[in-house]
Amino acid sequence: DTEVTQTPKHLVMGMTNKKSLKCEQHMGHRAMYWYKQKAKKPPELMFVYSYEKLSINESVPSRFSPECPNSSLLNLHLHALQPEDSALYLCASSHTGDGYTFGSGTRLTVV
Amino acid sequence: QKEVEQNSGPLSVPEGAIASLNCTYSDRGSQSFFWYRQYSGKSPELIMSIYSNGDKEDGRFTAQLNKASQYVSLLIRDSQPSDSATYLCAVYSSASKIIFGSGTRLSIRP
């Protein structure tokens, strides 16, 4: 299995909603990542988990809350988002120092 | 100075020609370098990794690295319309994270 699976593919949520994005990989990678990408911009790092521990938080607002339940799963909990948070959210995984394998992303729209 | 710099393009290349994409980086401690291809509305796909000075070839793709000049490039030979995409240069920095350049839009004209 050489894939990173993200669900859902599309999500529309209101500003008062709570939702979660899910990511799963079975490649034995011990590093997992959340990125945010706006149109015509490069991916922007949000969080890094290494061996199931949060190692990097790029000063992301607390309305985004990551969770790594085990070495294969990564969640991003969303609460009280703003319309400007609408973007493509990408999960990735890798062996440390290697290139990342990205999932297909969740296209999030906040209304 | 941006950490990873690329010309945003668009770079227009005739079908069958060589496309040359360039990237410079600022962190001299960087050890790993990557090229990703991203089609519109899709996620980035890793197409080349390079770790040491010189050239690395994989099919129609050649990555070139010069650490002294802090320069990475990607050559695409026999360019095809399906190569039209945004190409992201990425550098694994000394801060243990990958930094992406802003990407170069490549258009292959028939």
Report the 3 state secondary structure along chain B: CCCEEECCCCEEEECCCCEEEEEEECCCCCCEEEEEEECCCCCCEEEEEECCCEEEEECCEEEEEECCCCEEEEEECCCCHHHCEEEEEEEECCCCCEEECCCEEEEEEC
Asked if B82 has any chain A CB less than 8 Å from its own CB, the reply is no
Place of tokens 């990551």: A66
pLDDT of residue A69: 96
Q: How many CB pairs under 8 A join A and B?
A: 44
Residue range A40-71, pLDDT digits in tens: 999 999 999 999 999 999 999 999 999 999 99
* 8 Å CB contact of A99 and B49: yes
Residue A1 above 70 pLDDT? no
Q: Which positions in chain A touch B89 (Cβ < 8 Å)?
A: none
| Tens-place pLDDT, residues B64-84 | 999 999 999 999 999 999 999
- Report how far Cα A106 is from the mean position of its chain's Cα atoms: 8
Mean pLDDT (whole number) for B78-92: 97
What are the DSSP calls for A5-62, one per residue? Answer: EEE-SEEEE-TT-EEEEEEEE-S---EEEEEEE-TTS--EEEEEEETTEEEEE-S--T
- Residue B97 scores a pLDDT above 90: no
Q: Which of B98, B99, B102 to mutate to test the interface with A (most CBs of A within 10 A)?
A: B98
The closest of B75, B8, B98, B83 to B38, measured between CA atoms, is B83
Q: Is pLDDT at B2 greater than 80 in this prediction? A: no
How far is residue A77's CA from residue A9's CA, in Å, rounded to a whole number?
A: 15
Contact A56 B97 (CB under 8 A): yes
Residues in chain A with CB shorter than 8 Å from the CB of B43 are 88, 90, 102-105
B52 Cβ under 8 Å from any chain A Cβ: no
Residues on chain B touching A43 (C-beta within 8 angstroms)? 44, 88, 100
Q: Give yes or no for B97 touching A (CB within 8 A).
A: yes
pLDDT (0 to 100) of residue B103: 96
pLDDT digits (tens, 9 = 90+) for B5-50: 998 889 999 999 999 999 999 999 898 999 999 999 999 999 999 9
pLDDT at B4: 95
Specify the pLDDT at position B1. Answer: 64
pLDDT in tens, A25-38: 999 999 999 999 99
pLDDT score for B8: 86
